[in-house]
């Protein structure tokens, strides 16, 4: 969950699940049992405490925004267990009601905006009604713009798209075909494909193709992965030699450990934006490198920075994509020249150094 405020006091918030893995080998002067208790007690309180969320970071951005990051008190795996979902939904509603008293915009991050949980935020708006005082933002508009910008850098066609009927996938497909780029939408839902195709100008509908099989992408030099499944080796065996893969799914369907199996493929994280890390005091970076963030989170910051009061929930409004992108650019966000992990490797950053840098944000759980 994220909460933000701005120099002239707009505020933002985002919600998400938590996945924590801790291994204790030895703590000097502390026995195994006491050391384990020292770490597990805060985690127990985090999940089972009465409060629905925890603030894990407070920071400034670019001299214009003040932000908070809040996490709903649930582990990531609980979002996928049916019996937890109503409780998670209620925790999100409770958090919104409380946090809106000290913030101006609330953004939904990670699984908190999942279609099957909150319908991209629409459920929150509908459930709270007149009690909701601030805009709810899923940030998918800026994510769609970011993915499109990254794809256009490569000037490749045709494009194979998974997660094609999602909010972001739909927006990406509609924009690319409007530019005369052939997009093969991987979906078994003919009804959903037809709905999206009907949004395309008749003169460009030829460029939108419904693909039922991954093998249809064997002739596509660029793949866009927007869904965690299909994944791994099942996905890799259909991606052609020398292809570019632009991913906006979280988690990435192709884990980094599999990259070495296909050194011919260029893997790019398409849903990330860069910024000057020296102009932000953020420490909880969600396992990203310093100087990068998820575009959906940046979208919430942009919403607050611009003083917009409308909700950004449901399908992406195609008429607003590029005005949102321009506002993000003005705030200081940009596409990194290379995927950030490649830059780190080129600079010779050690694995331990990178891991320790990423771990700093998680110290908030134990403070």
* Residue matched to tokens 């890799």: 236
pLDDT greater than 50 at residue 8 = no
Report the distance separating Cα 168 and Cα 166, nearest Å.
Answer: 5
For residue 141, what are the CA distances in angstroms to 186, 317, 318?
Answer: 21, 7, 8
pLDDT greater than 60 at residue 167 = yes
pLDDT greater than 70 at residue 279 = yes
Contact 196, 165 (CB under 8 A): yes
Contact 86, 100 (CB under 8 A): no
- Provide the β-strand partners of residue 59: 67
DSSP 86: H
- For 244, phi then psi, to 5°, come to -105, 135
Check the CA dihedral 309-310-311-315 and report its sign: negative
pLDDT greater than 50 at residue 241 = yes
pLDDT of res. 72: 87
Instruction: Tokens for 256, please give them.
Output: 């980094």
Q: What is the mean pLDDT of residues 148-169?
A: 96
Report the distance separating Cα 1 and Cα 224, nearest Å.
Answer: 26
Q: What is the mean pLDDT of the chain?
A: 82
Distance of CA 132 to the CA centre of its chain: 24
pLDDT greater than 60 at residue 158 = yes
pLDDT of res. 131: 97
- Provide the β-strand partners of residue 272: 294
Q: What is the mean pLDDT of residues 271-299?
A: 90
Q: Quote the percentage of the chain above a pLDDT of 70.
A: 78
pLDDT greater than 70 at residue 244 = yes
| Confidence label for 97 from pLDDT (cuts 50, 70 and 90) | very high
Q: Quote the percentage of the chain above a pLDDT of 90.
A: 60
pLDDT greater than 50 at residue 22 = no
pTM above 0.75, yes or no: yes
Instruction: Tokens for 125, please give them.
Output: 């708006």
Non-local (6+) Cβ contacts of 85 within 8 A are 79, 117
Could you read off the pLDDT of 177-226 as tens digits, one per residue?
Answer: 999 999 999 999 999 999 999 999 999 999 999 999 999 999 999 999 99
Domain extents in the chain: 2-139+274-366, 149-273
Contact 91, 18 (CB under 8 A): no
pLDDT of res. 367: 43
Q: What is the mean pLDDT of residues 162-183?
A: 97
Instruction: Tokens for 127, please give them.
Output: 């459930």
pLDDT greater than 60 at residue 89 = yes
pLDDT of res. 285: 78
Report the distance separating Cα 168 and Cα 146, nearest Å.
Answer: 10
Report the distance separating Cα 366 and Cα 56, nearest Å.
Answer: 10
For residue 194, what are the CA distances in angstroms to 116, 144, 190?
Answer: 22, 20, 6
Distance of CA 330 to the CA centre of its chain: 21
Check the CA dihedral 71-73-78-82 and report its sign: negative
Report the distance separating Cα 191 and Cα 173, nearest Å.
Answer: 16
Give the CATH number of domain 149-273.
3.40.50.720
């Amino acid at each position: 969950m994220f909460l933000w405020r701005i120099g002239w006091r707009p505020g933002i918030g985002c919600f998400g699940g938590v996945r924590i893995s801790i291994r204790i080998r030895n703590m000097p002067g502390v026995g195994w049992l006491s050391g384990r208790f020292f770490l597990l007690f805060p985690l127990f309180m985090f999940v089972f405490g009465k409060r629905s969320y925890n603030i894990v970071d407070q920071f400034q951005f670019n001299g214009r925004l003040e932000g908070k990051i809040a996490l709903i008190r649930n582990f990531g795996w609980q979002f996928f267990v049916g019996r937890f979902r109503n409780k998670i939904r209620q925790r999100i509603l409770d958090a919104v009601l409380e946090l809106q008293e000290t913030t101006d915009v609330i953004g939904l991050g990670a699984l908190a905006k999942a279609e099957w949980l909150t319908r991209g935020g629409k459920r929150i708006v509908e459930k709270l009604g007149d009690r909701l005082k601030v805009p709810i933002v899923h940030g998918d508009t800026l994510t769609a713009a970011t993915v499109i910008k990254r794809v256009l850098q490569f000037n490749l066609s045709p494009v194979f798209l998974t997660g094609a009927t999602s909010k972001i996938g739909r927006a990406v497909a509609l924009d690319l075909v409007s530019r005369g780029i052939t997009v093969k939408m991987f979906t078994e839902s003919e009804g959903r494909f037809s709905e999206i195709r009907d949004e395309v100008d008749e003169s460009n509908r030829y460029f939108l193709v419904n693909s039922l099989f991954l093998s249809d992408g064997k002739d596509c030099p660029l793949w866009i992965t927007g869904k965690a499944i299909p994944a791994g080796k099942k996905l890799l065996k259909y991606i052609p030699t020398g292809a570019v893969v632009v991913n906006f799914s979280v988690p990435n369907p192709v884990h980094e450990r599999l990259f070495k199996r296909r050194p011919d493929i260029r893997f790019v994280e398409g849903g990330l934006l860069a910024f000057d890390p020296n102009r932000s005091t953020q420490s909880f970076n969600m396992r990203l490198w310093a100087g990068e963030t998820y575009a959906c989170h940046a979208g919430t910051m942009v919403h607050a920075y611009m003083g917009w009061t409308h909700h950004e929930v449901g399908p992406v409004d195609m008429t607003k994509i590029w005005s949102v992108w321009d506002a993000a650019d003005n705030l200081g966000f940009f596409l990194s020249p290379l995927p950030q992990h490649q830059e780190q490797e080129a600079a010779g950053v050690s694995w331990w150094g990178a891991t320790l840098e990423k771990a700093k944000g998680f110290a908030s759980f134990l403070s």
